[in-house]
Structure 1
Amino acid sequence: MTAKEAVPVRDGERADDDFSVIQPTGFSPVQVEDRARQLLFSPRALVIAGSMLFGLLILVYLLVARSLIFETQPADADIKVSGFAIPLGDGHLVLPGDYEYTVTATGYLPKSGKVSVSGEKNSRHAVTLERLPGHLQVVSDPPVPVRILIDGAEVDSEQGLAQNIPAGRKRITVLTDRYLPFTREVDIEGLDNTQRLQAKLRPAWASVRISSNPPGATVTVEGEVLGTTPMTAELIQGDRVVEISKPQHKTAQVPVAVTAGVDQTLTPVDLAAADGILRLASTPDGASVTVNGEFRGRTPLDVELEPGSTHQVRLFKDGYSAVERTIDIAAGVEREMTIDLSAVFGKVRITSSPANAEVYIDGRLAGSAGETFTLPARSHRIVVRKDGFEDYETTVVPSAKLEQSIRAVLLTAEQARWSQVPAEVTHGAGGRMLLMRPNARFTMGSSRREQGRRANEVMRQVALNRPFYLGTTEVTNREYRRYQRMHSSSHVNGVSLDNDNLPVVNISWADAAMFCNWLSARDGLRPVYRAEGNRIVGFDASANGYRMPTEAEWAWAARFEGGSMKKFPWGNELPVQKNSGNYADNNAAQLVPAVLRTYSDRYAATAPVASYQPNSLGVYDLGGNVSEWIHDLYTIGTGLSMRREENPVGPQDGDYHVIRGSSWRHAGLTELRLSYRDYGAEPRNDVGFRLARWVN
Structure 2
Amino acid sequence: MWYDEGDTAYLYDNTGTLVSTYRSTGAGPTTVPTTVPTTAPTPVPTTTSSGTLSVTSTPGGAMVFLDGVFKGITPITLTGVPAGTHQLKVHRIGYDDYSTSVTVLPGQTVSVPVSLNPSSGPTTVPTPVPTIAPTPVPTGTGTGTLSVTSTPGGAIVFLDGVFKGITPTTLTGVPAGTHQLRVYRIGYNDYSTSVTVLPGQTVSVPVSLNPSGPTTVPTPVPTTAPITAPITAPTPVPTGTGTGTLSVTSTPGGAMVFLDGIFKGITPKTMTGVPAGTHQLRVYRSGYEEYSTSVTVLPGQTLEVPVALGVPSGPTLVPTIVPTTTPTQVPTGTGTLVITSSPTGAKVILDFSFIGYTPLTVPDVPAGPHRISIRKSMYRINSTTVMVEPGKTTTVSVTLHHIWEGINPFN
TM over 0.5: no
What range describes the TM-score normalised by the shorter chain of this pair? under 0.3
The normalised TM-score by structure 1 is 0.14
Structure with greater contact order relative to length (CA < 8 Å, sep ≥ 6): 2
Bigger helix fraction = 1
The normalised TM-score by structure 2 is 0.23
Bigger strand fraction = 2
